[in-house]
């Protein structure tokens, strides 16, 4: 049996503006992950695949799955990449602890873990860059115009400074810091949020381009601050990025409730993370006040919190 994993991710700065060419910063979240297992399935016909993904209620043969089922599409893409046809039948089991549709990269991590498990099982090594490109192809199927930041950070598993269309820049964290990730419990529909911003931009390019540029500036400044380990300066940058995301129209009542709670519990900075309109809020906290911030966010409706140490 072959097992491979891929982590979750959060965007620290620059979501949405990154689709329009501005920089963004994302980090892996190792506290949650996807594990994909591949093993031989004796007795079945050659070249067939039995799929098990209990977290999304999927169990059946690949050739009987609807072709647009996301996991089926991933498997087809991987089979094409490796030009696999007449192989010993296999069972693919996917298990995830990454909350779905919450901005934590669950779909991307499934794709990357499956690609890795196949590559190992069939002894066909695939460079990280190619893994990322394949995961990008799946992102395109899901939401049309992805920037590529999600597949990049999930594949490279390092803090990434990312500008669309240029090679990703992994960078070092000067001093580790603690983030509370709090889930509103409301799904974050990436494609809807991205389309909403696109329509708004088409209607008023000047205003939205100024917002994108200002968001990009927070990401540029944040990179320096993170590299120098000036954790205290990160909080105000997160708050500023959040104000700009609100101006873009991707916040919502549930996000605002968690943000207010984190602020009242003395988080150092707080913003939504990912596409917004639901999904997750991230709060920068001193490690000794993490519990207080988590409790406050639970009290304001968070269905789950995850504590992550960035750079440790």
User: Catalytic positions, please?
Assistant: 150
Q: CA–CA distance from 184 to each of 31, 99, 104, 187, 188 (Å)?
A: 18, 11, 12, 8, 9
- According to the binding rule CB under 6 A, does residue 216 interact with ligand MEV? no
Least distance to ligand MEV, CB of residue 37, Å? 26
> Binding ligand MEV by CB under 6 A: which of 33, 74, 131, 147?
147
- Round to whole Å and give the CA distance between 300 and 294: 10
Q: Is 288 exposed, middle or buried (0-12, 13-18, 19+ CB in 10 A)?
A: exposed
Q: Per CB under 6 A, does 274 bind ligand MEV? A: yes
Q: How many residues does the structure list for the chain?
A: 312
Q: Does 279 bind ligand MEV (CB under 6 A)?
A: no
Binds ligand MEV by CB under 6 A, chosen from 11, 109, 219, 226: 11
Q: Which one of residues 6, 7, 8, 16 is an interface residue with ligand MEV (CB under 6 A)?
A: 16
The size of the interface with ligand MEV (CB under 6 A), counted in residues, is: 14
The reply to whether 194 sits near ligand MEV by the rule CB under 6 A is: yes
Q: Is residue 121 at the binding interface for ligand MEV, with CB under 6 A as the rule?
A: no
Interface map 285-304 toward ligand MEV (x if CB under 6 A)? --------------------
Q: Does 190 bind ligand MEV (CB under 6 A)?
A: yes
Give the bridge partners for 170, in sequence order.
Answer: 160
The tokens for 295 are 């409790």
Of 13-21, 166-174, 254-262, 286-294, which segment contacts ligand MEV by CB under 6 A?
A: 13-21
Burial 20-52 (b: 16+ CB within 10 A, else e): bebbbbbbbbeebbbbbbbeeeeeeeeebbebe
Checking phi first, is residue 14 left (phi over 0); if not, alpha (psi -120 to 50) or beta? Answer: left
- DSSP tag of 62: G
What Cα–Cα distance (Å) separates residue 309 from each residue in 213, 228, 265? 29, 17, 19
Shortest Å, Cβ 146 to ligand MEV: 4
Reduce the DSSP state of residue 50 to 3 states and report it: strand
Looking at beta carbons only, is 119 or 181 nearer to ligand MEV? 181
Which residue is closest to ligand MEV by CB? 147
Q: Does 146 bind ligand MEV (CB under 6 A)?
A: yes
Bridge-based pairing of strands 269-273 and 177-183 is unpaired
Residue window 46-85: x/- pattern of binding to ligand MEV, with contact defined by CB under 6 A: ----------------------------------------
* Exposure of 77 in the CB half-sphere (CA atoms within 13 A): 24
- Answer whether 24's CB lies under 8 Å from 152's CB: no
Site string for ligand MEV, 91-120 (x = CB under 6 A): ------------x-----------------
Among the listed residues 81, 150, 183, 254, the single contact to ligand MEV using CB under 6 A: 150
Q: Does 218 bind ligand MEV (CB under 6 A)?
A: no
Based on CB atoms, which residue is closest to ligand MEV, 126 or 194?
A: 194
Which residues sit at the interface with ligand MEV, rule CB under 6 A?
11, 15-16, 18-19, 103, 146-147, 149-150, 190, 194, 274-275
């Amino acid at each position: 049996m072959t097992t491979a994993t891929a982590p979750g991710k959060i965007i620290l700065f620059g979501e949405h503006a990154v689709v329009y060419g501005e920089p963004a910063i994302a980090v892996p979240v190792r506290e949650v992950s996807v594990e994909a297992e591949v093993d031989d399935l004796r007795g079945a016909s050659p070249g067939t695949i039995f799929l098990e993904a209990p977290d999304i209620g999927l169990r059946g043969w690949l050739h009987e799955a609807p072709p647009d089922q996301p996991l089926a599409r991933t498997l087809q893409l991987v089979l094409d990449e490796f030009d696999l046809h007449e192989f010993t039948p296999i069972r693919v089991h996917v298990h995830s602890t990454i909350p779905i549709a919450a901005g934590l990269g669950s779909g991307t991590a499934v794709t990357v873990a499956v690609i890795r498990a196949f590559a190992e099982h069939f002894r066909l090594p695939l460079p990280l860059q190619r893994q990322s490109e394949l995961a990008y192809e799946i992102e395109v199927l899901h939401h049309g115009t992805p920037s590529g930041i999600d597949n990049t950070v999930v594949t490279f598993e390092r803090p990434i400074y990312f500008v669309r269309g240029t090679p990703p820049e992994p960078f070092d964290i000067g001093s580790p810091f603690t983030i509370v990730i709090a889930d509103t419990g409301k799904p974050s529909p990436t494609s809807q949020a991205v389309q909403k911003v696109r329509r708004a931009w088409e209607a008023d390019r000047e205003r939205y381009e100024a917002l994108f540029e200002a968001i990009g500036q927070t990401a540029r400044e944040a990179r320096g601050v993170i590299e120098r380990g000036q954790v205290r300066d990160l909080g105000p940058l997160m708050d500023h990025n959040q104000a700009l995301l609100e101006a873009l129209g991707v916040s919502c009542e549930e996000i605002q409730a968690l943000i207010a709670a984190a602020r009242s519990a003395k988080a150092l900075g707080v913003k939504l993370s990912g596409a917004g309109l639901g999904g997750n809020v991230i709060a920068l906290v001193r490690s000794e006040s993490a519990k207080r911030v988590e409790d406050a966010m639970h009290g304001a409706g968070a269905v789950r919190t995850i504590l992550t140490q960035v750079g440790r």
